Amino acid sequence: MSKALSKQELHNLAMNHVGKELEQRGFEFIAVNSKLKKHPQFVCIDKTNQYYFVIVKVVILPDNPNNYDVVWMEAFKKHAREKDAKVLFAGVGLGNPNGENLPIYLDEDYLIEYNGIQIIETHLN
């Protein structure tokens, strides 16, 4: 029988998708943190040595992966400004193709909604 993925395994799956995009964009990884609710998941630099804090959020479809907690994000943006880093957000939606109430299983097909990495402006309003 197939094993349903845990929350941590779903998070890791989402991080793998985002990590591949970061690599393709030429980012260099400084730190990776795959623990749930520990932010950021990736600390990267670009070719100009600009630091980026990358937040990966996974949701179960049909929830919208592009939504995030605005109040929490303001506190995180303050942290990024203090470290002279830019903030990137990657929301990933995962689902079972056989029904939205079914879990996602190890080594089986799954649905993904991923609209890429979004830049979160860190300047003060």
Residue 82's CB is within 10 A of a number of other CB atoms, namely 8
Q: What is the pLDDT of residue 1?
A: 66
Over 60: is that where the pLDDT of 26 sits?
Answer: yes
Question: Residues 3, 106: contact at Cβ < 8 Å?
Answer: yes
Over 80: is that where the pLDDT of 20 sits?
Answer: yes
Total-model pTM:
0.92
Q: What is the pLDDT of residue 92?
A: 98
Helix (H) / strand (E) containing 73: helix 70-82
Could you tell me the residue ranges of all domains in the chain?
7-120
Instruction: Report residue 37's pLDDT band, with 50, 70 and 90 as the boundaries.
Output: confident
The pLDDT of 6-22, averaged and rounded, is 97
Give the distance from CA 19 to its chain's centroid. Answer: 9
CA angle 59/92/27 to nearest 5° reads 145
Over 60: is that where the pLDDT of 29 sits?
Answer: yes
Which class in CATH covers the domain with range 7-120? alpha beta
pLDDT (tens digit, 9 = 90+) per residue, 97-119? 999 999 999 999 999 999 999 99
